[in-house]
Amino acid sequence: MVQNAINQMGGMQAVQDQVNANGGMKGGGLQALMQQFVGGGGAARPSYIKPKHNEVYECKDMATLKTIISETSGVIVDFYMDRCPPCEMLKPKFAQMAASNNNDKIAFVKVNGPNCRDMYDFVKAPGEQGGFPTVVTFLFEEKKRYICGADVGAIENALGELYQMLDSKSVQHIVMKFK
């Protein structure tokens, strides 16, 4: 559990940097860092640690999913189900896509659909086919693609669209104007 927290924060150096930024070991920095993970002491607990662009982030609650979608330019979400053969087939391919992603404006997220039905219902529009796996892409908080099934080609095309839109000069200009 501790190693997962360290990894989510960006490694041991990032943990040390955050402790030092909050007053060091004796100045309350370690206590402040621990409160982020366990809460208590009146400190607000962050809902998530920002996903790294080249890793798949496991999202477990609606507030976190909405935060990721609102704070990240491009998001690709894999809704999967345990013991689902097509989901299991897609899992390593989705991880490969994330690992080879060099665009820090794109986050890869996975959600266990049956365990987080509210999130699945949040992205599924009336009339859209349901099932697992389902991959949904978002660009600037707007749902762009909804792919039901383990269609790796369609998922790669949707990811390519995100890359293309985020690398577009007109999109960069628009984003710069609103920052």
* pTM of full prediction above 0.95: no
Output the pLDDT for position 46.
47
Say how many CA atoms lie within 13 Å of 158 toward its Cβ. Answer: 26
Quote the CA–CA distance of 121 and 78 in Å, as a whole number.
Answer: 13
* pLDDT-flagged residues of the chain (< 70): 1-48, 169-179
In sequence order, what are the beta bridge partners of 58? 110
Fold of 56-174: Glutaredoxin (3.40.30)
Beta strands in 11-81 (DSSP E): 56-58, 74-80
- Cα 155–89–120 angle (5° rounding)? 60
The reported pLDDT for the residue numbered 27 is: 52
The pLDDT, as a whole number, for residue 1 is: 45
- Amino acid, single-letter form, for residue 160: G
Whole-angstrom CA distances from 93 to 76, 86, 89, 146 are 13, 11, 7, 18
User: Can you state the angle between helices 12-21 and 29-38, rounded to 10 degrees?
Assistant: 120
pLDDT tens for each residue of 1-46: 455 555 555 555 665 666 556 555 555 555 555 555 544 444 444 4
What per-residue confidence (pLDDT) applies to 43?
40
Tokens standing for residue 138? 């978002």
The CATH 3.40.30.10 portion of the chain extends over 56-174
Tell the residue number behind the tokens 């927290």, with chain if given: 5
Instruction: Give backbone dihedrals phi and psi of 106, rounded to 5 degrees, phi first.
Output: -120, 130
Q: Which amino acid, 132?
A: F
Of 82, 92, 80, nearest in space to 133 by CA = 80
